[in-house]
Amino acid sequence: MRALIGAALASSPALQAEIQGRAYANSSLGVGGVPASPQLPFVLMGTMPETPFLAVQETSRAALIVYQFYAYQDRGSYDTIDRILRTMRETLLGLIGQSADGVQCTNARWLFTSGELSDEGFAANMKYLEMEFVASQ
Protein backbone atom coordinates (compact mmCIF):
# COMPACT_ATOMS: atom_id res chain seq x y z
CA MET A 1 0.00 0.00 0.00
CA ARG A 2 2.86 2.36 0.73
CA ALA A 3 4.00 2.24 -2.89
CA LEU A 4 0.47 2.92 -4.17
CA ILE A 5 -0.09 5.79 -1.77
CA GLY A 6 3.32 7.33 -2.44
CA ALA A 7 2.85 7.16 -6.21
CA ALA A 8 -0.66 8.61 -6.01
CA LEU A 9 0.45 11.53 -3.86
CA ALA A 10 3.55 12.22 -5.96
CA SER A 11 1.51 12.24 -9.19
CA SER A 12 -1.19 14.65 -7.99
CA PRO A 13 -0.46 18.07 -9.56
CA ALA A 14 -2.86 19.82 -7.18
CA LEU A 15 -1.19 18.31 -4.12
CA GLN A 16 2.34 18.90 -5.38
CA ALA A 17 1.49 22.55 -6.08
CA GLU A 18 0.87 22.87 -2.33
CA ILE A 19 3.59 20.69 -0.76
CA GLN A 20 6.26 20.60 -3.51
CA GLY A 21 7.41 17.06 -2.70
CA ARG A 22 7.44 17.54 1.05
CA ALA A 23 5.59 14.35 2.08
CA TYR A 24 7.41 12.13 4.56
CA ALA A 25 6.89 9.04 6.67
CA ASN A 26 6.53 10.24 10.25
CA SER A 27 9.42 8.00 11.28
CA SER A 28 11.80 9.50 8.69
CA LEU A 29 12.21 13.03 10.06
CA GLY A 30 15.88 13.75 10.67
CA VAL A 31 16.97 10.48 9.05
CA GLY A 32 18.94 10.05 5.81
CA GLY A 33 18.62 13.50 4.31
CA VAL A 34 15.07 14.17 5.50
CA PRO A 35 15.08 17.41 7.49
CA ALA A 36 14.11 17.18 11.17
CA SER A 37 11.97 20.30 10.68
CA PRO A 38 10.78 20.45 7.05
CA GLN A 39 9.87 23.68 5.30
CA LEU A 40 6.15 24.45 5.64
CA PRO A 41 3.74 23.31 4.32
CA PHE A 42 4.44 19.59 4.50
CA VAL A 43 2.70 16.25 5.09
CA LEU A 44 3.58 13.41 7.46
CA MET A 45 2.17 9.91 7.01
CA GLY A 46 1.94 7.06 9.46
CA THR A 47 0.10 3.80 9.92
CA MET A 48 -1.75 2.18 12.74
CA PRO A 49 -1.06 -1.55 13.34
CA GLU A 50 -2.32 -3.79 10.51
CA THR A 51 -5.10 -6.26 11.23
CA PRO A 52 -6.40 -9.14 9.12
CA PHE A 53 -9.49 -8.19 7.12
CA LEU A 54 -11.82 -11.01 8.11
CA ALA A 55 -14.31 -10.55 5.25
CA VAL A 56 -11.77 -11.73 2.68
CA GLN A 57 -9.12 -13.42 4.80
CA GLU A 58 -10.27 -16.92 3.86
CA THR A 59 -9.86 -16.39 0.11
CA SER A 60 -6.88 -14.05 -0.07
CA ARG A 61 -4.21 -12.52 2.06
CA ALA A 62 -5.69 -9.15 2.94
CA ALA A 63 -5.04 -6.61 5.63
CA LEU A 64 -6.94 -3.60 6.84
CA ILE A 65 -4.47 -0.72 7.16
CA VAL A 66 -5.34 2.59 8.78
CA TYR A 67 -3.22 5.54 7.67
CA GLN A 68 -3.02 8.95 9.28
CA PHE A 69 -1.99 11.91 7.14
CA TYR A 70 -0.91 15.07 8.97
CA ALA A 71 -0.75 18.41 7.14
CA TYR A 72 1.27 21.31 8.55
CA GLN A 73 1.36 24.97 7.54
CA ASP A 74 2.42 28.35 8.91
CA ARG A 75 0.40 29.86 11.73
CA GLY A 76 -2.68 31.80 10.74
CA SER A 77 -5.29 30.39 8.38
CA TYR A 78 -6.01 26.70 7.90
CA ASP A 79 -6.88 27.22 4.20
CA THR A 80 -3.74 25.52 2.86
CA ILE A 81 -4.19 22.55 5.19
CA ASP A 82 -7.83 22.19 4.15
CA ARG A 83 -6.85 22.18 0.45
CA ILE A 84 -4.07 19.63 1.07
CA LEU A 85 -6.30 17.25 3.03
CA ARG A 86 -9.21 17.57 0.58
CA THR A 87 -6.88 16.79 -2.35
CA MET A 88 -5.30 13.86 -0.51
CA ARG A 89 -8.72 12.42 0.35
CA GLU A 90 -9.95 12.65 -3.26
CA THR A 91 -6.70 11.21 -4.63
CA LEU A 92 -6.51 8.30 -2.19
CA LEU A 93 -10.15 7.28 -2.60
CA GLY A 94 -9.23 6.76 -6.27
CA LEU A 95 -6.83 3.92 -5.39
CA ILE A 96 -9.56 1.26 -5.30
CA GLY A 97 -8.68 -1.40 -7.87
CA GLN A 98 -5.11 -0.20 -8.42
CA SER A 99 -2.09 -2.36 -7.62
CA ALA A 100 1.66 -2.10 -7.17
CA ASP A 101 4.33 -4.52 -5.98
CA GLY A 102 1.84 -7.40 -5.91
CA VAL A 103 -0.59 -5.55 -3.61
CA GLN A 104 -4.02 -4.41 -4.74
CA CYS A 105 -6.14 -1.81 -3.00
CA THR A 106 -9.57 -3.44 -2.82
CA ASN A 107 -11.17 -0.77 -0.65
CA ALA A 108 -10.45 2.75 0.57
CA ARG A 109 -12.53 4.70 3.05
CA TRP A 110 -12.23 8.11 4.66
CA LEU A 111 -12.77 7.85 8.42
CA PHE A 112 -12.49 11.43 9.70
CA THR A 113 -10.65 14.72 9.59
CA SER A 114 -9.48 16.30 12.84
CA GLY A 115 -10.33 19.75 14.05
CA GLU A 116 -7.87 22.63 13.94
CA LEU A 117 -4.75 21.83 15.98
CA SER A 118 -1.44 23.51 16.75
CA ASP A 119 1.97 21.82 16.90
CA GLU A 120 4.33 23.74 19.15
CA GLY A 121 7.35 21.64 18.12
CA PHE A 122 7.04 22.76 14.50
CA ALA A 123 5.49 26.15 15.40
CA ALA A 124 2.77 25.35 12.89
CA ASN A 125 -0.93 24.79 12.44
CA MET A 126 -1.88 21.16 11.86
CA LYS A 127 -4.84 18.95 11.01
CA TYR A 128 -4.94 15.30 10.07
CA LEU A 129 -7.18 12.84 8.32
CA GLU A 130 -7.51 9.15 8.88
CA MET A 131 -8.29 6.65 6.12
CA GLU A 132 -8.49 2.89 5.97
CA PHE A 133 -7.42 0.69 3.09
CA VAL A 134 -7.88 -2.99 2.40
CA ALA A 135 -4.75 -4.33 0.75
CA SER A 136 -4.91 -7.78 -0.90
CA GLN A 137 -2.01 -9.88 -2.17
Instruction: Give tens-digit pLDDT for 56-104.
Output: 556 567 788 899 999 999 998 899 999 999 999 999 999 999 998 888 9
The residue ranges of every structural domain in the chain are 2-136
Half-sphere exposure of 82 (CA within 13 A, CB side): 6
Alpha carbon distance 33, 17 (integer Å): 22
**pTM for the full predicted model:** 0.88
Topology at the third CATH level for domain 2-136: STM4215-like (3.30.2000)
